[in-house]
Each structure stands twice: as C-alpha cells, then as structure tokens.
Structure 1
Amino acid sequence: MSDEILINVTPPETRVAVVENGVLQDVMIERARSRGLVGNIYKGRVCRVLPGMQAVFVDVGLERAAFLHVSDLNAAEREKAVDNQIELVFREGQDLVVQVVKDPIGAKGARLTTEVSVPSVYQVYMPYAKVSGVSQRIECDAERARLRACVEGFQRDHNTGGFIVRTAAEGVDEAALRADMLFLQKLWNSIAQRIKTVKVKTLLHEDLPLAMRVLRDLHCSKVEKIRVDSRETYSRLLKFGKEFVTETVPLIEHYSGERPLFDLYGVEEEIQRALERKVALKSGGYLIFDQTEAMTTVDVNTGAFVGGRNLEETIFKTNLEAAQTIARQLRLRNLGGIIIIDFIDMQDEDHKQQVLQALSKSLEKDHAKNSISEVSALGLVEMTRKRTRESLEHVLCEPCPTCSGRGMLKTAETVCLEIFREIIREVRQYNVQELLVLASNEVVERLLDEEADMLSELETFLNVTVKFRAEAQYNQEQYDVVLL
C-alpha cells in the first residue's frame, strides 16, 4: 500500500486527507469564508499591556484582539524584557509586526509571535534571527553538517537573518538550496517595503491556500501519489510544483472518476467516525473521547475482549492496541492542549513501559509537537499536543441547542418535579386560581399519566386548576407556567 494525499475541492471549501498504508491519518479543512490565519503577518498596534500576565494584546484588524506573550518575542526583544517584564519592551499605541502562530479558538483570540518567519519548500527564513538550524528529523550527521555549512555560507555572502532547514532539504543539491534561500530573501524584502508604507491593522503577507501548502509542507519520500478532483486546482498545483517543488510534479494526478474521491478511499466514513465519542478497537475493546475546553480525556476499556491466558495479558494487549489507535485519533481529530489517557491499570512495570513506548513510537509520525509523561499510580498518562488550529469537531460541529453542549438532558420526571415547584411558587406569590403549563410533548404526557395522582393532590392542596398545552418546538427541558 502506498501513502497518498487526496485533495477534494469545491467552491466553499478545500479538504485534504492523508492516507498512509490505506488508513486515513489526517484531515485538513479550509473553508472559503473562514480561512486559517496561521502564518499570516500583520502590522498591528498594542492596545493593552498586561504586566501581570507578561503579555500584551495587539489589534491586527481581526474580530478579537490577538495575544502576544513574552515567550513569543524575538531574541532582541527578549533581551530587553529583563526578568520577563514585557512592559519594558512595549507600550500602548505602539506599532509592531507580528505573525499568527495559533488560530482563534473558541472565545480566545489568535496567538502571535514577533519572531516572524517565512516558509518555502526547503527552508524557513527568520529575518530577525541570526542563528540557523537543521530539522531534527534529518538524522544523518554528515548530511546535517553539509546543510548547515550551505546555509551559513549563504548567510555570510548575503548578510541575511537565520534559516531553519526543513526535512524536505535532505539530499537536495546546494544550488537548489541557495536558489530557495534567495527567493525567501526577496520575498521578505518585499514585505519589509510594505511595512514602511501600509497603515496599522493591515495584512502584510498571507500564507498559501491549503492545496499549495500541502504540496510545500507534506510531500516526502513516502508519498507516492497526490490526487486532486478539481481540474483548476490540478493546473495550479502543477504550475506551483514546476516552479518550487519539481520532485512532486510526477506525483500529481487529476481524478476525474464519477465516484467522489473521498468515498473511493472511505474517507467520508472515517470523518464521521472521528466525530463520535466511542472508538472501537479491533480486539473488541473501545475508547471513549471526551473533549472539553480545559482538556481532552481518553478512557480505555476492554469491552468484549476476553483475551487468552490471564487478565494481566488481556489488559496489556488492549492497552497496546489503544496506544496506537489513540495516536492516530489525536492526529485525525486534531486534538491539542492537555490530554489525559486513562489506560487500564497494569501491575507489570515492564508492560507499562512497553505501552508508553508504543504510544511514543506511534506519535513520531505526528507533525504536531507533543510530550508524554510516565504512567501514574492510577494508570493515567498525561501528555500535551501543540494546537495551532481548531479541532475537527469544532470545525464541523456546533454545540447542541437542546443541551447547550452538555451532552445530557434532564429527564422528563425531573422537569415534571421542577414544574410542580414552579406552580407552588407562582400560586403563593400571586394567589391565582388557574394556571397554564406549556411544555414538550414528553413532559405533558408524563404529567397527565405517571404524575397524574401527584398533580391531582397538588391542585387540591393549592386549590388551583392547572391546564396543559404541548409545544412541539419546546425541548424536553423547556417549560413555561402562565397565569390565567
């Protein structure tokens, strides 16, 4: 099986699926009305300095002010911020150039950095930095030394900022690398000219559309095919590839089949499953994902898996399979921040280490930075995964208007008892003889059936007549008590 990148394009949105060995690993979605902001460079203005948070809010023209923390300053600014005193660097009303490193998520504004960078195929250029580096994914010491020498030589010849050599540069000849660095330098020079002339709250540089970013960032030796179902986007990708990523040109194919591209690979079904709480394991066990604003929890259960020799072996095998599935699901669902994994308790220390190693190994393919803790005494593993964009659930879904995102509704019995208390409250406050209760069909039916005796006793005790009307548009928790 080959690793493939599938690109589905319609006027409202572009979707990209990364399929590795026939299994969906990643989904990226960009909608025309809400393109991501990560990588965009703005000329902004400081609107508030918060010494207690070691941060400032910056107005870059977005709906909410963006957030800049002292840890995201460039090297020169960090030197000025003695003991992280950001007020020594910025003042309200000051103009500055910033770049978005994290999209607005929920009620939070975008997160910014002043360590501006511009990416290309082989390098990332950092105009305000002086040091350069090589991607840690390039493991060969000789190749790392060659790439570093190439970059440092270009820096000396052209008096430029710093460069980070990307994984795609491995094995690329020096001429292509220098041409790439020259392109980045020219691009930054054009941005620098705009900085001098444009007004504040102006977008200086916007990152490429999703399809082009994929070609730039995701191509590697493992990718054997890039299939796109839009002829227009196919032509753009070919043009972009010929100019910047020549090695990808033979991989790009236009898909013109009658069956939708994502259906052909089962991607649509996988996306639907990635929105569910429960994830089945092949062994018969299952995982439960609960995403909250503070963190994501993952619960591992043996389910129908009874195992073989003994309970410890059954638990160990379930946890091993869960570790691999969790790594894939985190990437597919794009879950970030704090993640708590509740593995089934293991007694054997060697088993704990093997499960941790399996999780760590499975996360190696993840492009998002992550870190994992040891297994706690309760069998919990704490980990973090860098979040730069909304999760798949937040992109495709919204909170349920009925339960307000709680995932639970009060029972009809609970609502009936609330209505009884409200009737008592109304009668005692207004001394009325007749009331009308508006509620959902389920609640009214229960009031007139299971709760009929209780209702009769209440009417007699309060000397009041209660009428009911079912409202089809009311959810199970909604009701009104109207004075007649």
Structure 2
Amino acid sequence: MSSEILINITPMESRVALVENGVLQEVGVERTLHRGLVGNIYKGKVARVLPGMQAAFVNIGLEKAGFIHVDDILTPLINCEPSDAGDIRLYLREGQSVVVQVIKDPISTKGARLSTQLSVSSRFLVYMPDVAHIGISQRIEDETERERLRGALEVALSGNEGTGGYIIRTAAEGVEAGELAKDVQFLNRLWGHINETSRQLSAPSVVYEDLPLYLRAMRDMALPVVEKVRVDSGEAHGKLCDFAAQFNPEMVPMIECYSEDRPLFYLYGVEDEISRALEKKVPLKSGGYLVIEQTEAMTTVDVNTGAFVGHRNLEETIFKTNLEAASTIARQLRLRNLGGIIIIDFIDMQDLEHRRQVLRALEKALSRDRAKTTLASVSELGLVQMTRKRTSESLGQLLCEACPVCDGKGSLKSAETICYEILREILREARAFECSAFLVLAAPVVIDRLLDEDSAYVADLEGFVGRTIQFRVESMYSRDQYDIIPV
C-alpha cells in the first residue's frame, strides 16, 4: 500500500492529509490561534480540590482550568495507607504548584485533561521520567523483532546515567540500535531542559510545547510505506528537511516542495472529502448508506441498504452491504477523528457466520488506525459497541459550530407550533395587561400562517379578549422568534 502525506500551510492554519492508494484516510487541522495542547507541559496552580469527584481543577494559564483525576497523579504529598491511595486530598491542595501535561484537548465546555505522568516523544521512543519500565508498541507483533528492539534499547541505556522508562514506538520496527541510542540522547537532553525550565518559572506558565502539526505528522505518520511528502510552503519545506535530517534521514529525498498552480489539496480531491466528512450521510458504492450522528455522550453509526437490492436474496444483500460498511466505517472514524463510545447498528443478520465475517472485516479495517480502538462483540440487540481513543476535537467540532437558529438541536419548531404559542401568549398577556391592542412581531412564515390558515383562530381570540391583534413581519427574525407588544 503506497501512501503520501500532503501538507498545506497558510498563515491562518496548517493542514495535513494522509492519502493511501489515492484515497484520503486521515486529515489534521491546526489553527494558528487555536493550536492543539496535547503533549504540552505546564507549571500550574491548583485552583480547587473536589474530594467528591476525587479530582481537582488546575489553572495552567488557559481560559478554562484544566481537570486532573487522582488516577492521573503519580505520588501523594505524604505517605499513606494503600486503602487511602484514592483520596485526592493526599495528592493536591489548593494553591499548590504542580507540573502537569495535557493528555486531552479542551472539548466544548470542558477544560483540558491533565496528568502528572509526564512523557516526551521522539521519532522512535517515548520517554517517561517517573517510571522504570521498557514497553513496546502492540502494533509490533513479531516476537523476534520485539525482543531485538528490547535488547537494542537496553544496550543503548547501559551507558546512560539518566533514569526513567521508555516505550518503543511502532516506527522503530526494523531500525538499528544506533538510531535508538541517538533518540535516547536527544530525549535526555530535552528532559534536562524541561526540568531546568520548570524550576525557573512561576505558575501558571508554559514549560514545553509540542511540535507543530506538520512536524508531528513527520514524526507520527511517516510509516515505511510513505513514498512522498508534499508541502506547499518553502519555509515549512526547509523545517521539514531539517527535522527529517535529524530524526529520519532516509525521508529527506521524499520531501518535495509543491509549487504548481493547482492547490495541493485538490490533487486527490481532499477538499471535497473534507466537506463530505462534515455531513451525516455517507453513501456506499453498492447504493446503501451510513448515517453518522455525533453527540456529547457517544457517536452512533446506522447502516442502511438504500437502493441496493442485491442479486440473489435478502440475506446476501444485507451481508454485502454490512461488509462494505465495515471498511467505510473504519475509514470515516479516522477521517472524522471520532472518539469515545461508538455504537454501530449494522443491518440485522440471521447467519452467525455472516456476523463473524463482518466483525472480522471491521477489526481488520481498524488495525490500520493509529488511535487505540477496542471492539466488543455483537450485542443481543445486534449492535457493535467499540471505543476509539479521543485526544482532540473531532473534525466536525473543529471546523463547525452549533447552528445559531436551532442551537445545535438539528430541528426547529414548525410554523404551526409557533402560531399556537403566540395565541396562548396573547391570551395570557390579555389577563395581565390593560391595553387596547396587541402587536405581534414574527418571521414571515409565521405571520403568513396567522393571516391565512389560522385566521379563524385569531378572529375568535380577538372576540374573546375584546382587543384587536395586529401583525408585523420582521424578516430578520428566525422562525421560533417572536415578540408580543401591548399597545
């Protein structure tokens, strides 16, 4: 499978797209004014301790205070019994300075999720100064290769005076011991700089900021199958080449500065794909379709056969639609960066073997996802439950905002409903105010209905309250917006 990384740089934002076999698989967007915070290290001040939630709010200098749970704190302030280890008051107190790292970006009304379990990353390793452990990415499945990498890292650490633990990243598969040794030296120097900076700063302050999006893409996305990296900025091209020369020299020849007239993201229809990724409905090649709904609590995916009628029987039609949907769902989760709890409602299948095959197809498609996913079996209701690690806002949350008309509900009250509300409100105000008439200001569609279909109700109400009712169209009003003025 061949892959390309496309990097679009503008003063307002940076965008990175991962294209596999000509099809967009992942897209990342980083706004200049709203850079992602995951990986940043801050010296913060504890603003509030919440014993009931076993958590605390920490002021790290952002608009919203960060949130830290007791499970994300390494050591208590004082020695305590194991039975008391879950009490947040033994770990933090109000006004205390604490060095924390962002593990989840602020989302909606929630502040950043924080941890005192700090780590910094390089091309092949993640360094964790507060633990003594060597771990290996689960995506490296070959046991011989895992043992070779563990041995190579232990050799690299044998002459190292520093302490701490390491995780060997997926990108390290097949690399020489010397490359791991270089990463160890780099991470030790970086951690020394972070330590010194945190001692000198007062809270709240930024101690360390992670790399910008396009450099993180080189570090995290540059898999062995990547054949080319195209970037449309000369300045960013120079930084990418310098970064690659330091951490991944074999990629330097792959980095290309794109200078054609046609915008880079139009090469593989990336712009169109991004627009389609913001829609609820996703068409399938067979004629079926998916409906993807993202809510605060979870994301739901509904599979429908649509216009696909198959060639043999209903069970075959359902099976083929579900198989196609499985691969499409995995791609859409990556493309839209959907995380948290995900419920997939495949079309009901009677054949148990068909269910197993669809589930295996979904597992295989999800195996290419860099985010951690956990997949459960089909439930009694025929639903597939899964989770996908969420560290930042989804594409929809990043690029869109709630509709100011419906306030994000996705629906509006009908004109009929609004008209009846107005008539009830006039009746209420007639009892409360002494006046000779009422003036109703409302949207055109509401006024039209009051003067047409509901005119008989208006006439009856005028007779009942003994006052005239006047109407005025306000073209700037939304459908459910109105005012009733006693005159």
TM-score normalised by structure 1 residue count: 0.97
Q: Which residue is equivalent to 2:53?
A: 53
Deviations 1:165-201 (CA, angstroms, capped at 9, x unpaired): 1122222221221111101101101111112211111
Give yes or no for the alignment of 1:367 onto 2:400.
no
Deviations 1:370-396 (CA, angstroms, capped at 9, x unpaired): 111111122111111111101111111
Question: Post-superposition shift, 1:212?
Answer: 0.7
Within the candidate set 292, 308, 312, 1:309 is matched to 312
Tell me the distance in 1 between the aligned counterparts of 2:113 and 2:78.
17
Tell me the distance in 2 between the aligned counterparts of 1:300 and 1:216.
35
Distance 1:360 1:196, change over 3 A: same
Residue segments in structure 2 that go unaligned for 5+ positions in a row: none
Give yes or no for the alignment of 1:451 onto 2:454.
yes
**In structure 2, the residue corresponding to 1:313 is in which secondary structure?**
helix
Distance 1:76 1:123, change over 3 A: farther
Q: Letter of the aligned partner of 1:56 in structure 2?
A: A
Aligned partners of 1:8 and 1:261 also within 8 Å: yes
Distance 1:81 1:397, change over 3 A: farther
Aligned partners of 1:234 and 1:254 also within 8 Å: yes
Q: Which residue is equivalent to 2:3?
A: 3
**In structure 2, the residue corresponding to 1:421 is in which secondary structure?**
helix
Tell me the distance in 1 between the aligned counterparts of 2:473 and 2:241.
61
Q: Which residue is equivalent to 1:193?
A: 196
Question: Post-superposition shift, 1:219?
Answer: 0.4
Question: Post-superposition shift, 1:251?
Answer: 1.0
Q: Letter of the aligned partner of 2:146 in structure 1?
A: R
1:63-78 equivalent positions in 2, closer than 5 A: 63-74=63-74
Q: Letter of the aligned partner of 1:117 in structure 2?
A: S
**What is the root-mean-square deviation in Å for CA atoms of aligned residues?**
1.6
TM-score normalised by structure 2 residue count: 0.96
Q: Which residue is equivalent to 2:486?
A: 483
- How many residue pairs were aligned? 484
Tell me the distance in 1 between the aligned counterparts of 2:81 and 2:50.
13
Aligned partners of 1:81 and 1:87 also within 8 Å: no
Distance 1:325 1:175, change over 3 A: same
Question: Post-superposition shift, 1:468?
Answer: 0.6
Q: Letter of the aligned partner of 2:214 in structure 1?
A: A
Within the candidate set 101, 105, 108, 1:106 is matched to 108
Deviations 1:140-165 (CA, angstroms, capped at 9, x unpaired): 22221121122223334223211111
Q: Letter of the aligned partner of 1:393 in structure 2?
A: G
Most deviating of 269-278 and 339-348? 339-348
Q: Which residue is equivalent to 2:437?
A: 434
**In structure 1, the residue corresponding to 2:52 is in which secondary structure?**
helix
Distance 1:311 1:462, change over 3 A: same
1:289-328 equivalent positions in 2, closer than 5 A: 289-328=292-331
**In structure 2, the residue corresponding to 1:290 is in which secondary structure?**
strand
Deviations 1:411-446 (CA, angstroms, capped at 9, x unpaired): 111111111111111112214331100000111111
Q: Which residue is equivalent to 1:242?
A: 245
Distance 1:77 1:288, change over 3 A: farther
Within the candidate set 169, 181, 185, 1:182 is matched to 185
Tell me the distance in 1 between the aligned counterparts of 2:301 and 2:77.
40
Tell me the distance in 2 between the aligned counterparts of 1:29 and 1:158.
38
**In structure 2, the residue corresponding to 1:52 is in which secondary structure?**
coil
Within the candidate set 337, 362, 380, 1:377 is matched to 380
Q: Which residue is equivalent to 1:329?
A: 332
Q: Which residue is equivalent to 1:268?
A: 271
**In structure 2, the residue corresponding to 1:259 is in which secondary structure?**
coil
Question: Post-superposition shift, 1:70?
Answer: 2.3
Within the candidate set 75, 88, 91, 2:90 is matched to 88
Within the candidate set 150, 158, 161, 2:160 is matched to 158
Q: Letter of the aligned partner of 2:118 in structure 1?
A: V
1:84-233 equivalent positions in 2, closer than 5 A: 84-159=86-161, 160-233=163-236
Q: Identical aligned pairs, as a percentage?
A: 59
Deviations 1:311-345 (CA, angstroms, capped at 9, x unpaired): 11111111111111111111111111111111111
Tell me the distance in 2 between the aligned counterparts of 1:310 and 1:295.
34
Distance 1:243 1:102, change over 3 A: same
Tell me the distance in 1 between the aligned counterparts of 2:337 and 2:75.
30
Tell me the distance in 1 between the aligned counterparts of 2:189 and 2:331.
39
Aligned partners of 2:77 and 2:90 also within 8 Å: no
Tell me the distance in 2 between the aligned counterparts of 1:427 and 1:190.
73
**In structure 1, the residue corresponding to 2:364 is in which secondary structure?**
helix
